[in-house]
Structure 1
C-alpha cells in the first residue's frame, strides 16, 4: 500500500470525524436532548410550511414548567368551580340577566350564577318549539317558560365517533358547542353564550308545542318514532334526527342572543376555501399578516389571535367569519370542533405564528393552565350538570394542543424577542 494512499485515507477519516462533530454541535443544541419523534404530528413535514418544522422543534424542547401544574391556578380554579356549582337551594328560576353584554363578560357567571343559568336551561319547561331556519344545519328554536329562548342543536354523532376528511367535514357536533363554552370560560374568554347538554322527549315536550312549520318537517321512521329534518340550507328529508329508545333527542341547548344584540359580521382574513382545493393566500404566504396589519387594528388582530388559540384547542377550522358586539368578538358557532382527536391542524394557529403577537394577559393565563389543569377544570365544571362531554382521547388531545400553543409562542419569541411578541 503506497504512502499516498495511506495519507489520503487518513485525511478522509479526519474530515469525516470533523463533519460529525460539526453537525452534532450545529443540529443538536447544547444541553438539550435529541428530538423526540413521538411529538411529531400526523402530517408530512416535508410537505408543510417550514414554520411547522420550527414550531415542532420548539415543542420538543419546551421547558418543563409547561408540562407541570402551576400552583397559582388553584385559586382561580376554585373561583370557577364556585361559579358553576349549583347553589344549595337551586330553583328553576332564571338569574337576573339584565346586565347581559354590559360588563367584562357576555353573561354574568360569578357566585353560582353560571350554575343556576345552566340548570334553568336544562330543566325549564318548553312552551314553544319551531325550526330555526338560519344557518346551514338543523337547529330548533325553543321558547321556555319565563320567555327565555334557546337554540337547540341535536346530536348527530356518538361521543367516540371520529370525523375523517377535511377540517370542516361532517355535521356539527352538539357536544363541541358545550365543550367550547366550558373551554372558553376556563381560558377567561368570557364573550360566549352559555351552552348545556339537554335531552328532550319528542312526544311529550316537542309535539304538543310544535309550530305548524316544524310539524311539516317531521316524519315517522320505521319504528314509528317522529323524526325531524328541519329547515336550513343543507337540510334534507333523508337526513333526519330521530329519538332514542327512550323517545328523547339529545342536543346542545345554547342561550339565544335576542334583541338588542345587533351584531356586526366580518369575514375572517384567515378563512378557508370551501369550493375547491385551491389554497388561500394565507396558506401560501407566511408573511400574510403584513397585509392584514395594513387593514386591521392591532386590537382586532389580537382578538383574532385569541380566537385562533381557542379554535386550535378544539380543532374548529370553520371560523370563516366572526361577529362583533360592542367592539368584542363573540365566540359563536363552535360545532365544527372535536372531529378527530388524533389530528392537530396547526394552520388554525396561523394568526399567531404569522403575526407573532399575543396579549400578555392571554399568555400569562395560558401559562397558568399547564399540566392538565385546563381539562381537569372543564371536567369538574361540566360534572355539575352530570353530562359526559367528550372521550378521554379528546381531553388528551386538548392538552397536547396546548403544548403546541406554548411552542408556537416560544417560536415567535425566538424570532422576534419578547418585547415585540407580547402586547399590553
Structure 2
C-alpha cells in the first residue's frame, strides 16, 4: 500500500516578518520553564497556545548546525530572543507514507514531531516538549545570525531558492529545496536549559527490551490480553518496578502504537538530584507512521492488561472523533496538513483497537485490576 501527497507550494504564501514590540520573551521562557517538574512539562492550567505563539513569532538571534548530528535528520540549534534554545528540523517537501522496510531508517518527517505533540496534548499526557511548525526566511532571519558551519551546509541558488542535501543512514539521499529562501520545519522546545535532564540509552521501549531478553519468538505468545508472564519479568527491571515509571511505559505504548513509532528506544528522563527517574519525556517522533500495523508496540498494555485511568478516559473521549479533534488542534500550524488522509484514518482505528483490548481486560480482571 502506498500513497503520496505534497504540502502546498511555498509560492502560495506571502512571507512577512511581523516583529512584536514590547514583549519580554525572557520572562515568557522563564515562566514556562518553571512549570517543568517531575510530573509533567506543563500543568493542566497552562496556556500552551501562548508559548506556541511565542515560538512562532520570537526573533531568532543565533543559528548553528546541531551537533551531534543523527543519520535520520538535518537539524539546527536556534537561540530565540530571550535566550531560549530550540531544535529546528527542516521538513521534506514531498510527504509520502513510509514503506514498511524503512520504518526505522530513511529521513525523518519533522511534521510528525508536531503531530506527536498534538496527540500528547489531546490525551493530557503533558510529557512531550512543546513543538510547532515555523516558516523562516533565510535572508532576513537565518543568514545574518548563522554560523559559518551552518552556511556551508546549504546552497543558495541564483533564483533565491535554498537547497540542502542530506544523506539519511548513508543510503537515502534527500534533497530539501525551499522556494525563495523560505524554510519551513518543526521547532522543538529545548527543555534542558535549566532542567536536570538525563538520557538513558539502555532503557529502551518494550519491544526493544523484549528482544534483549532473547528467544523472542518463543516468548511472544499469541496476542491475547492478560498474558502477564513476560510482564511480570519486565516489572522486576529498574526503573519499571516503580509504578510511576511503569505508567509512563504504558502511556508510551499507546502513543507509539497510534503513530506506529519504531524509534521509541530513546528515553529521556527528568531526574531529581539523587538521579531518581521521575518523568519520562517522549521525544523523536520523526520516524513514525509506517505503512503497516505491528501489535508488538502495544505489548505493555495487552500483556499486562494495565493502563492509566487518565489515559483510558482520554481514549474514550476521542473514540469517535479523534481525527476531527486532531485536525482542529493543528489546523493553524504553519506546516498544516501534518498528516495524510491515510494516517488520520489509521490513528482512529488504532485508538479503538486499544479500547477493545482494555474492554477484554476488564472482563478478565475487572476495572480495579486494570486501571492504574
TM over 0.5: yes
- Report deviation, 1:241: 2.8
User: Structure 1 residue 283: deviation in Å?
Assistant: 5.6
**Matching residue of 2:151:** 215
How much has 1:97 moved relative to structure 2? 2.1
Aligned ranges for residues 152-167 of structure 1 at < 5 Å? 152-159=88-95, 161-166=96-101, 167=103
Structure (1 or 2) with the larger CA radius of gyration: 1
Task: Provide Cα deviations, 1:165-212, integer angstroms capped at 9, x if missing partner.
Answer: 233232111111001111001101101111111112223322221102
Paired with 1:292 and 1:350, the residues of 2 have a C-alpha distance of 11
Q: Aligned to 1:107, what secondary structure does the other structure show?
A: coil
Deviations 1:125-172 (Å, cap 9, x if unpaired)?
21211011135131101111222221101112534x111123323211
State the SS of the aligned residue for 1:143: strand
Match for residue 270 of structure 1? 206
1:390 deviates by 1.6
Deviation of residue 305 (structure 1)? 0.9
Partner of 2:347: 398
Distance 1:237 1:223, change over 3 A: farther
TM-score where L is the length of structure 1: 0.68
1:332 alignment counterpart: 283
- Greater fraction strand: 2
Offset of residue 360 of structure 1: 2.2
Task: Provide the TM-score with structure 2 as the length reference.
Answer: 0.77
Matched, 1:349 2:291: no
Give the Cα–Cα distance (whole angstroms) in 1 for the partners of residues 78 and 136 of structure 2.
Answer: 11
Distance in 2, matches of 1:128 and 1:285, equals 51
Name 2:190's counterpart in structure 1.
Answer: 256
Mapped to 2, the partners of 1:280 and 1:218 lie a distance apart of: 44
Give, in whole Å, the separation in 2 of the partners of 1:149 and 1:203: 21
Query: Is residue 107 from structure 1 mapped to residue 42 from structure 2 by the alignment?
Result: yes
Are 2:48 and 1:97 equivalent residues in the alignment?
Answer: no
| TM-superposition CA deviations, 1:314-355 (whole Å, max 9, x none) | 111110131111401111111112343xx3222111111122
Report whether the alignment pairs 1:311 with 2:311. no
Question: CA 1:183/1:269 → structure 2, altered by over 3 Å: closer, same or farther?
Answer: closer
Distance 1:90 1:279 in 2: 57
Distance 1:419 1:214 in 2: 55
Contact 1:129/1:209 (8 A) holds in 2: yes
- Count residues in correspondence: 326
CA contact (8 A) 1:92 1:123 kept: no
Deviation at 1:282, TM superposition (A): 5.2
Does the CA contact (< 8 Å) of 1:155 and 1:251 recur in 2?
yes
Corresponding residue number in structure 1 for 2:331: 383
| Residues in 2 aligned to 1:314 and 1:108: alpha-carbon distance in whole angstroms | 24
C-alpha displacement of 1:106:
0.5
Task: Give the conservation status (yes or no) of the 8 Å contact 2:79–2:86.
Answer: yes
Deviation of 1:269 (Å): 5.1
Alpha-carbon distance between aligned partners in 2 of 1:128 and 1:339, rounded to the nearest angstrom: 35
Cα 1:158–1:281 change in 2 (3 A) is farther
1:407 maps to which of 338, 356, 369? 356
Does the C-alpha gap of structure 1 residues 216 and 97 become closer, same or farther in structure 2, counting only changes over 3 Å?
same
Q: Secondary structure at the match of 1:198?
A: strand
The Cα shift of 1:254 comes to: 0.9
Give yes or no for contact 2:205–2:249 (8 Å, CA) kept in 1. Answer: no
Asked if the contact 2:52–2:130 (Cα under 8 Å) also holds between the matched residues in 1, the reply is yes
Partner of 1:37: none
Structure 2 gaps of 5+ residues are: 2-19, 221-228, 272-277
Bigger shift: residues 319-328 or 378-387? 378-387
Q: Distance in 2 between matches of 1:301 and 1:282?
A: 21
Kept after mapping to 2: 8 A contact 1:225/1:242: yes
Give unpaired runs (5+ residues) of structure 1: 1-41, 43-88
> SS of 2:136's equivalent?
strand
CA RMSD of aligned residues (A): 3.2
Alignment of 1:36-51 (within 5 A): none
Residue 380 of structure 1 deviates from its aligned partner by 1.6
